[in-house]
Structure 1
Amino acid sequence: MQLETKLIDIMRTNENVMEDLQLVQQLNIPHWWIAAGYVRNYVWDYLHGYEQNTPLNDVDIVYYDPNNISMSLETELEASLLEKKPMYQWSIKNQARMHVKNNVHPFESVEDSMKRWPETATAVGITLSDTNEIRVIAPHGLDDLFNLVVRKSEFFRDEAYYRERVRSKGWSTYWPKLMIT
């Protein structure tokens, strides 16, 4: 719980976080989280002592709704967010649909999906509770994120894809304190 509190405190130092969370909350999608690089990059920037945030490639929103797995809904939601905050490239994915894309068994929840993401430090997300408190999801815990460790998830099987992904991202260029395993 201590690292979760630290993560929430760090995220609150970013003036955009609450605004972004409230913007996504207004979409009224079930079981949603802002995840991946949005959280990871900000923590790594903080731990490296950077005053400027590393630019985001996109803002990943994940949610879980097995009752509506339409890709067109995701596109509509992205367009809605883009209209309100055009400086981001929004990416919204219903994790109840992603098993089809990934050719695996259906996921049971956002957490079930996230634990199968390539890196443990990327499988972290934040959301707002009904009382506007930041909540954290991290199926692999937060140790790797805070220890600056890039490690393949034990649930992600494709070692070659993982290696190429880490290489192509160039993370150690942005964050030289990272330890890539």
Structure 2
Amino acid sequence: MRSHLRYAGLDAQIQQQALEAIIRQQPVLMAVLEGLRALALPDHLLVAGAIYNEVWNYLTERPSLTGVNDIDVFYFDDSDIGWDAEDRVIQDLAARFTGLPVPVQVRNQARVHLWFEQKFGSPFSPLTSSSEMLGRYASKAYAVGARLLPDDTMAVVAPFGLDDLFSFRLVPNPALSNRVLHTRKGEQLRAIWPELTVTPWPD
């Protein structure tokens, strides 16, 4: 068995190439990326657990899609931040991806500030892009997104780099008051991938 840490500590370019290769060998993720490209959603990104869970599955030789309950998609469209516009996109993607084994969940990041405080109890300043939201995730390893470009190359967005992801290390990101989420989710993920190390939230 090859080490699950074989990409930890390597050059950023090597890690990005490894990430892209892992994504490209996963048919469900590629179906979503190709579908998003066809829809031409503004500033769209495939993000979060569908990526980092699949990286950990691949590196620990667990079955594909282990731990993946849904596939998160961001887009950013501030030309219409009403719910009806976002709901049309939600319905369009539900119809397009109806045959996938897990649901696709899409959200317009231009609207997050309208509902975040009511749902999570803390203020949230408006975003200016989908990638900016990655910088506010509770743990740095989660902050990774991908987009398939027209020439079939892949753009990877990782504001904190990829070493935490490949090192199986959950490090807090104090951009928001996310202590509870960081701790709870870390425990949940370690139940599936005990290889993970969770760094405690700073006091």
Give the structure-2-normalised TM-score: 0.81
CA shift digits 1:100-151 (9 cap, x unpaired): 2233221122222210111111111111112121110111111111100112
Pair 66,34 (structure 1): closer, same or farther in 2 beyond 3 Å: same
2:92 match: 80
Q: CA deviation at 1:47?
A: 1.4
Deviation at 1:94, TM superposition (A): 1.2
Structure 1: unaligned runs, 5 residues or longer: none
Question: Conserved in 2, the CA contact under 8 Å of 1:27 and 1:77?
Answer: no
Q: 2:166 aligns with which of 146, 151, 158?
A: 146
1:11 aligns with 2:23: yes
Aligned residue pair count? 179
Query: Out of 106, 111, 129, which is 1:92 matched to?
Result: 106
Larger Cα Rg: Structure 1 or Structure 2? Answer: 2
Q: TM-score, normalised by structure 1?
A: 0.90
Off by >3 Å, runs of 4+ in structure 1: none
Shift of 1:34: 0.6
Query: 2:148 touches 2:155 (CA, 8 Å); kept in 1?
Result: yes
Question: C-alpha separation between the residues in 2 aligned to 1:24 and 1:44?
Answer: 24
- Cα deviation code 1:16-71 (max 9, x no counterpart): 33222111122221110010011011001011122443142111110111112122
User: Which residue pairs with 2:7 in the alignment?
Assistant: none
**Structure 1 residues 26 and 73, CA, compared in 2 at 3 Å: closer, same or farther?**
farther
Kept after mapping to 1: 8 A contact 2:50/2:65: no
> Partners in 1 of 2:65 and 2:126 — Cα distance?
35
1:128 aligns with 2:148: yes
1:171 alignment partner in structure 2: 189
Q: Are 2:63 and 1:40 equivalent residues in the alignment? A: no
| 1:61 lines up with 2:73 in the alignment | yes
- How far apart, CA to CA, are the structure 2 residues paired with 1:153 and 1:132? 32
